[in-house]
Copies of this chain bind each other. A is one copy, B any other.
Amino acid sequence: MKKLLRVNTETNEINAEVLTDNYNMLSGRALISKVLTDEVKPTCDPLGKYNKLIIAPGFLAGTTVTCVNRISVGGKSPLTGGIKESNAGGNTAFKLGKLNIKAIILENVPENNKTNILYISKDKMDLVKCHEIKNIGIYKSAEILKGKYGEHVGLMLIGPVGEKMYVNSGISNTDNEGNPSRYSARGGLGAVMGSKGIKAIVIDDKGTSTPDILDKKSFINIKKNITNTVINNEAVANSYTKYGTSNLVDLINEMGALPTHNFSKGRFDLADSVNGKKLYDLIEERQGEGKHSHACMPGCLIRCSNIFADNDGNTIVSPLEYETIGLLGPNCGIGNLDTIGKLNYKCNDLGLDTIETGGAIGVLMEADVIGFGDEEGALNLLEEVKKDSYLGKIIASGAGNTAKVMGVRRVPVVKNQTMASYDPRAIKGLGVTYASSPMGADHTAGQTLRADVEHTKPDGQVEASKNAQISNALFDSIGTCFFVGGAIEGKIELLAGLIAAMYGEDITVNTLKDIAKKTLLREKEFNKKAGLTDAHDRLAEFFYEEENPDVSTVFDVKEEEIKRVHDF
């Protein structure tokens, strides 16, 4: 029987509830949107007692099907002021699935600043004081917790910036090897966890087995079908498995969509130094701990993750992903993967969102605090965050706030959140997603890169974004990796079949699409009540005024059209 844990962080009470009908046949992002709309007042202070942090694995969590063990985290975002769901790979959803936990809801706030650990196992749920990891980086904190609770536990962790309730802060999840590297990075949910006084959640799945599956035979058959489809998919093998997401650098650069020098152009002179081939070659050449392919979660066959090692073969960071490369690299004029890797590691350790941090550093470069391309300078900026200096605090407040403090107007945000590594003038469907998604400027909320449109023209972009937003909401709502869609050649009925087999419910592709659409509409409604209206469904003004010189166009999809993106 799946259960829902409610943790009252003021009173330290933890209750396991049986799922009501209301929440039963929802998971991941869909469940989060339902809990938030049912239980949270949209006008509440995101860092106050009325906000809730919801942790929700997908329907299939705990099984070893490929790509189905992503963890969704959500709440009202202190960065955007709207609803936020941010998901990640790693082993935490898998372990929660094995513990039959459908969701954890952190409620209320403690009276005083606390550093608590939420420990969950088969037989025990406990809030434990843990001062030894107060203000300690994520990597060291994970080591201490594994020393205490065993190497096998899954961990969700915030870094020092989340503890201090700075809004450029994510939540880290351990990967398959227990490395705390898989980030629910976006929207400042680390600060929400910090506001609840919870530094870490320890998920101990000792003594558990695979969760209940009602129709095991069907389940195993479909699983085999999926496995065969994925391992025979040559595109997956040649692209994601070999190069990972960094494969996108060349493509996006070619499209003129690679954010460069604080989104002032779309092609980077040094793209060759930070592309997928370069990363692959470096990893292969250096050997040691490096791996060009690596599974971030149990059962994954795509294995697009990597471990990036230095000249001595020692890990710099794992994984190094396209979005991070784009924002901390070209956007800052930095064409050196070693430096980008180090920046990434520092962000991870502090608990910063790499995209938001790349946006903030870009703004500081625009303000001449350091020059574009200043690698040492950029590394030092993250030392400032570590020292918690005023400059560091500014960075940890996100790119939008950094711009306000510095008096800079060119800041690539929507709803105060930094855009991902795709210039919206060159991939206009993503511009529509950035502008209109309830999630803010988040590429994972509606990726149109593969849509059949001319990306630099306004035509068809609203439709492309609409379809992508539904599709992304679907994957996020069942806890599967977005890449599984391509890997299983679009056969979503296989995923519907797995869920139907596991729960004995009549689940079809249409059921899932319906869940996705309803999720989007609930999110829009939450945002509207929170005060985010059509007026906020806009990019920063310079995208309408300043041409991206590499595609010679501004963002010109009509506002009136964008308003209709969620007309289902």
Chain A residues in the interface with B (C-beta under 8 A) = 42-45, 47-50, 164-167, 191, 195, 389-391, 393-394, 396-397, 401, 404-407, 409, 529-536, 538, 540-541, 545
16 A-B residue pairs with CB within 8 Å: A42-B535, A45-B540, A48-B409, A164-B407, A166-B407, A167-B404, A390-B390, A393-B406, A393-B407, A394-B394, A396-B405, A397-B404, A401-B404, A529-B535, A531-B531, A531-B532
A393 contact from B50, B405, B535, Cβ within 8 A: B405
A538 contact from B43, B401, B545, Cβ within 8 A: B43
Q: Which residues of B contact A48 (CB under 8 A)?
A: 409, 541, 545
Task: Knowing that A49-B545, A529-B535, A531-B535 touch, tell me 14 more A-B residue pairs with CB under 8 angstroms.
Answer: A42-B535, A44-B541, A45-B409, A48-B545, A164-B407, A165-B409, A166-B407, A195-B409, A389-B390, A390-B391, A396-B405, A530-B535, A531-B532, A531-B533
Bound complex: CA A433 to CA B393 (Å): 33
Nearest-neighbour CB distance to chain B for A11, whole angstroms, equals 16
Nearest-neighbour CB distance to chain B for A394, whole angstroms, equals 6
Among residues of B, the one whose C-beta sits closest to the C-beta of A532 is: B531
Bound complex: CA A348 to CA B50 (Å): 39
A401 contact from B47, B391, B405, B409, Cβ within 8 A: B405
A536 contact from B195, B407, B531, Cβ within 8 A: B531
Q: Which residues of B contact A43 (CB under 8 A)?
A: 535, 538
Nearest-neighbour CB distance to chain B for A117, whole angstroms, equals 21
A394 contact from B165, B166, B390, Cβ within 8 A: B390
Bound complex: CA A331 to CA B310 (Å): 53
**A167, A389, A401, A541: most-surrounded residue (chain B CB, <10 A):** A541
Q: Which residues of B contact A401 (CB under 8 A)?
A: 397, 401, 404-405
- Contacts A45-B541, A538-B43 given; does A397 touch B390 at CB 8 Å: no
Bound complex: CA A165 to CA B404 (Å): 9
Q: Which residues of B contact A533 (CB under 8 A)?
A: 531, 533
**A390, A529, A545: most-surrounded residue (chain B CB, <10 A):** A390
For the complex of A and B, the 6 pairs showing the least CB-CB separation, nearest first, are A531-B535, A390-B390, A45-B541, A165-B407, A164-B407, A397-B405
Q: Which residues of B contact A397 (CB under 8 A)?
A: 401, 404-405
- Contacts A397-B404, A404-B167, A535-B42 given; does A409 touch B47 at CB 8 Å: yes
Among residues of B, the one whose C-beta sits closest to the C-beta of A536 is: B531
Among residues of B, the one whose C-beta sits closest to the C-beta of A416 is: B404
Bound complex: CA A401 to CA B47 (Å): 15
Q: Which residues of B contact A389 (CB under 8 A)?
A: 390
**A43, A404, A533: most-surrounded residue (chain B CB, <10 A):** A404
Among residues of B, the one whose C-beta sits closest to the C-beta of A559 is: B43
**A44, A394, A405, A540: most-surrounded residue (chain B CB, <10 A):** A405
Q: Which residues of B contact A396 (CB under 8 A)?
A: 405
Q: Which residues of B contact A393 (CB under 8 A)?
A: 394, 405-407
Among residues of B, the one whose C-beta sits closest to the C-beta of A390 is: B390
Bound complex: CA A49 to CA B546 (Å): 12
**A42, A406, A535: most-surrounded residue (chain B CB, <10 A):** A535
Q: Which residues of B contact A538 (CB under 8 A)?
A: 43
- Contacts A43-B535, A394-B390, A535-B43 given; does A405 touch B407 at CB 8 Å: no
Q: Which residues of B contact A545 (CB under 8 A)?
A: 48-49
Nearest-neighbour CB distance to chain B for A550, whole angstroms, equals 22
Bound complex: CA A394 to CA B45 (Å): 21
Nearest-neighbour CB distance to chain B for A523, whole angstroms, equals 15
Bound complex: CA A44 to CA B167 (Å): 25
Bound complex: CA A2 to CA B389 (Å): 54
Q: Which residues of B contact A531 (CB under 8 A)?
A: 531-536
Bound complex: CA A531 to CA B535 (Å): 5
Bound complex: CA A396 to CA B406 (Å): 9
Q: Which residues of B contact A532 (CB under 8 A)?
A: 531
Among residues of B, the one whose C-beta sits closest to the C-beta of A47 is: B409
Nearest-neighbour CB distance to chain B for A162, whole angstroms, equals 10
Nearest-neighbour CB distance to chain B for A482, whole angstroms, equals 30
Q: Which residues of B contact A391 (CB under 8 A)?
A: 390
Bound complex: CA A164 to CA B48 (Å): 33
Bound complex: CA A533 to CA B530 (Å): 9
Bound complex: CA A195 to CA B531 (Å): 27
**A48, A396, A407: most-surrounded residue (chain B CB, <10 A):** A407
Nearest-neighbour CB distance to chain B for A330, whole angstroms, equals 25
Q: Which residues of B contact A45 (CB under 8 A)?
A: 409, 540-541
